[in-house]
Amino acid sequence: MNQILYVQDKKKSSIDTKKVLLIFAIGIIIFGLIILTIAIINKPKEKKEKGNNNENTVVTETEPTIEIETVSYNVSIKVTHDKQLSAVIYKWNDDDEVVQEEINDNSYMTTISVPTGKNKLVVKAIDVNGKETTKEEEINGEVEKPIIEVTSMEFNKVKVTITSQVKIVSVYYKWNNEEDQSIPIGENASLIEQEIDVPLGLNTLIITATDEYNNITVETKDVKGAKKPEIELTRKGQYVYMVITDEEAVESVQYSINGQTYKLSISIAQEVNHRIKLVEGENKIIVTATNVNKGTTEKRVKTTYTP
């Protein structure tokens, strides 16, 4: 009987071992399925395309490649791809987009000019499957130095005009070896106009203008500050004698007596002489002289003539 019990226990142990092995095998299978599922989920997206043999071929999608190269003040845009391009779009700053469609090729190239100053170029390329790439670059364009012009105006004045393609940040001027004086910069910082008084004598005017790119222009000009004519009036009997002198030349002379105006016919000279005949009673005389530098002097006298 003991022998029968021993045989039964041995059979039971064998059955238990098989159950354990079965459970272990099932666990390994489940673990393998989990690993496979994770691998499928994390696999890169792929697109199936039919080959010539009508079999499905797995191909990974690619994007167009954009290259931007600056040469002097031009920009070369080059787009390449392994598929046909449907459009290339580019724009400067906030300008309108330039769209190139119907390319019908897997590459595109163009050269464009760079606008003045600081710029942002945005280029977008799109292929026939709608896959697109965008590239941005900051590019500085050519900027000329500020331009300074000095023109003569009325007597002993000059006008300074400064123009620039970009913002002007500072303007200074000085006469000879004196200290610099600043010219105010208004709202329109690319155009500055200023009138300056000219000192007497021969002077050197030096103007310095700087723009936001630190381009500096220095303009030097010799300017002469002229004196005004001198008028001397002398009363002798029934006449007032006038003597008008100028270090360069007197250009015109006119006078009035009691409201009646007369203009002298003279040749341009450094000295002009003339006499004015007085009328009986009060005489109000005004003499005006202008030199070749447009400097004008006026002198008034009142005298009474009694015969």
For 254-302, write each residue's pLDDT tens digit.
Answer: 999 999 999 999 998 999 999 999 999 999 999 999 998 888 999 999 9
User: Residue 4 region, left (φ>0) first, then alpha (ψ -120 to 50), else beta?
Assistant: alpha
Neighbour tally for 269: CB within 10 Å: 13
pLDDT at 46 over 50: no
Q: What is the pLDDT of residue 59?
A: 56
Residues in the chain: 307
Q: What is the pLDDT of residue 61?
A: 79
Q: What is the pLDDT of residue 73?
A: 77
How large is the average pLDDT for residues 17-29?
74
- Amino acid at site 271: E
What is the pTM (predicted TM-score) of this model?
A: 0.54
Q: How far apart, in whole angstroms, are the C-alpha atoms of residue 234 and residue 240?
A: 5
Q: What is the pLDDT of residue 80?
A: 94
User: Residue 192 region, left (φ>0) first, then alpha (ψ -120 to 50), else beta?
Assistant: beta
Categorize the per-residue pLDDT at 179 as very low, low, confident or very high, splitting at 50, 70 and 90: very high
Q: How far apart, in whole angstroms, are the C-alpha atoms of residue 231 and residue 235?
A: 13
| Domain made up of 63-140: CATH architecture | Sandwich (2.60)
Q: What is the pLDDT of residue 42?
A: 64
pLDDT at 127 over 80: yes
Q: Which of 63, 83, 198 is nearest to 133 (CA)?
A: 63
How large is the average pLDDT for residues 116-139?
91
User: Comparing 147-225 with 230-305, is the CATH topology the same?
Assistant: yes
pLDDT at 44 over 70: no
**Lowest-pLDDT range, 9-23, 54-68, 97-111, 238-252?**
9-23
Q: Which of 282, 287, 284, 288 is nearest to 306 (CA)?
A: 282
Give, in degrees to the nearest 5, the angle at Cα 117 between 115 and 121.
55
Domain ranges of the chain: 1-40, 63-140, 147-225, 230-305
pLDDT at 138 over 50: yes
For 59-107, write each residue's pLDDT tens digit.
Answer: 567 899 999 998 877 899 999 999 999 999 999 999 999 999 888 899 9
Q: What is the pLDDT of residue 56?
A: 55
Residue with the larger pLDDT of the pair 132 and 50: 132
Burial state string for 43-68 with b = 16 or more CB within 10 A and e = fewer than 16: eeeeeeeeeeeeeeeeeeeeebebee
Average pLDDT, the chain: 86
pLDDT at 7 over 50: no
Categorize the per-residue pLDDT at 1 as very low, low, confident or very high, splitting at 50, 70 and 90: very low
Q: Which of 197, 295, 299 is nearest to 249 (CA)?
A: 295
pLDDT at 234 over 60: yes
Token pair, residue 86, equals 């449907």
- Looking at the chain, the whole-number percentage of residues with pLDDT higher than 90 is 58
Residues near 283 by Cβ (< 8 Å), separated by ≥ 6?
A: 240, 257, 258, 302, 303, 304, 305
Categorize the per-residue pLDDT at 6 as very low, low, confident or very high, splitting at 50, 70 and 90: very low
Q: Which of 242, 241, 200 is nearest to 223 (CA)?
A: 200
Which top CATH class is 147-225? mainly beta
Look up the CATH number of domain 230-305. 2.60.40.10
Q: What is the pLDDT of residue 13?
A: 56
Q: How far apart, in whole angstroms, are the C-alpha atoms of residue 20 and residue 26?
A: 10
How large is the average pLDDT for residues 163-180?
93
Categorize the per-residue pLDDT at 4 as very low, low, confident or very high, splitting at 50, 70 and 90: very low
